[in-house]
Structure 1
Amino acid sequence: MQKLTANTRQLYPFLIPYLFLLILVLVFKILYSKEDIYYFINGLHFPAGDVFFPYMTEAGSTVSAIVACLLLLFVSYRSSVLMASSLILTTLINVPLKNLFFAPRPRLYFAAHTRPIYYVPDVEVLANNFSFPSGHTVCAFTMAVVLTYITPRKTFGYLYLLLALLVAYSRMYMSQHFLEDVTAGSVLATVVTIVWLSWFGNRPFFSDPRWNGSLSRKRNAA
């Protein structure tokens, strides 16, 4: 419990604004319906967003997760293992939840509705029952928490949170998910990753200084 508390304090630059935003989202959920929130966000499209968000959403993809783990090998082996293990764990939890809830994505949910919906041009809009929770959001928030944890300058947590939020918003902007989906994905990733880092990141075997090595240091030493 002490390690969990200590690690949580390290993540304050990420956690404090995130919790504030989470409260705002919950207030919106109380005041407005799922449909109202979806159509409001769907009405906020603009030309630059139609270009930006399809690229931004890829920051929460499997490819980006793999690239992040590989790049961290040049920072330290410990950082790479923490990132990879956290992503694997949150994914292993998220995938069964998608199958359990079997929630329709917006395109399928509104299939019988006559109200017009804007879809971003040249973007494949999924229409299946694996909407809840959002996998891209889980991936983005997992990476953001780990990066805040391993980065010496903790104020970078604000930047990591912003990037994760942009990924989450991109999923709604492109009609791939509802607000509920990305909110649940962010909570799942944040809670599970913090608990995992508090336990796994403090295992005795990580005290071996060799974990602080990296591919870049090894190359320089040679």
Structure 2
Amino acid sequence: MAKVEGPILLWVQNWLRQDWLDGPVTVFSTLGNAGMLWLVLCALMLIFPRTRRAGALGLAALAMGFLLCNGLLKPLLHRARPWLVVEGLTHLVTPGDTHSFPSGHTCAAFAAAWTWRRQLPRRWMGHIGMVAAVLMGLSRLYLGVHFPTDVLAGAIVGIFAAWIMGKILGTSRKRR
């Protein structure tokens, strides 16, 4: 798979990376370490009655996503990080572990965003979350720390985590 995905990452590195963009992308991606950005946003939602359910379900989805992604799949699959197997690829940050499949940052982002999309009182709020989740996944490619399939799998696992927690805890919500 690295033979197919490696050239994509090299193209991103050689054609899309820009010095002026490295800092902002790094900062945004770093905010996703351990799901911190999404955890903080969910916790803030607990303060307000209209967003409390979205915050609580978001925290549950984040926990489920973490268990599935970091507790089960990464240790089970042991896929090496791209810079370790793609010749000429450089990474802009060094993750805490050497396993890349699936992307934990992307999983957390999609677990929270999918929940918000279903639970927040205004549709546009969920759309902002989904855009942020897509940007998180793209940032992981830009930084050279994940293959495209890592990011795709992270998104799928995150959405699954949000869906399963919604089923377990209930998700009825009237949208406006």
Q: Could you state the TM-score of these two structures normalised by the residue count of structure 1?
A: 0.67
Which runs of 5 or more residues in structure 1 are unaligned?
1-28, 204-222
Distance 1:41 1:143 in 2: 27
Percent identity over the alignment is 26
Partner Cα distance (2:84, 2:119) in 1: 40
Give the C-alpha shift of residue 127 in structure 1.
8.3
Q: 2:102 aligns with which of 133, 138, 149?
A: 133
Say whether the 8 Å CA contact 2:62–2:161 is kept in structure 1. no
1:45-84 alignment, distance < 5 Å: 45-62=17-34, 63-76=36-49, 77-84=52-59
The answer (yes or no) to whether the contact 2:117–2:129 under 8 Å persists in 1 is yes
How far does the alpha carbon of each residue in 1:155-174 deviate from its partner, in whole angstroms, 9 at most, with x for none? 33332221111111111111
**Gap change, CA 1:104 and 1:73, over 3 Å in 2:** same
Write the mapping of 1:52-201 to structure 2, written as runs, cut at 5 A.
52-62=24-34, 63-76=36-49, 77-95=52-70, 96-110=72-86, 113=87, 116-120=88-92, 124-126=93-95, 128-201=97-170
Contact 1:107 1:126 survives alignment (8 Å)? no
Calculate the TM-score normalised by the size of structure 2. Answer: 0.83
Report what 1:35 is aligned to.
6
Higher-Rg structure is 1
| Helix, strand or coil at the partner of 1:176 | coil
Change (3 A) 1:190 1:202: closer
Q: How many residue pairs get matched? A: 166
4+ residue segments displaced more than 4 Å: none
Gaps of 5+ in 2: none
* Separation in structure 2 between the aligned mates of residue 129 and residue 158 of structure 1, nearest angstrom: 32
CA-CA distance at 1:182 after TM superposition:
0.5
Distance 2:84 2:97 in 1: 7
Structure 1 residue 201: deviation in Å?
2.3
Match of 2:48, SS state, is: coil
C-alpha distance in 2 between matches for 1:127 and 1:78? 32
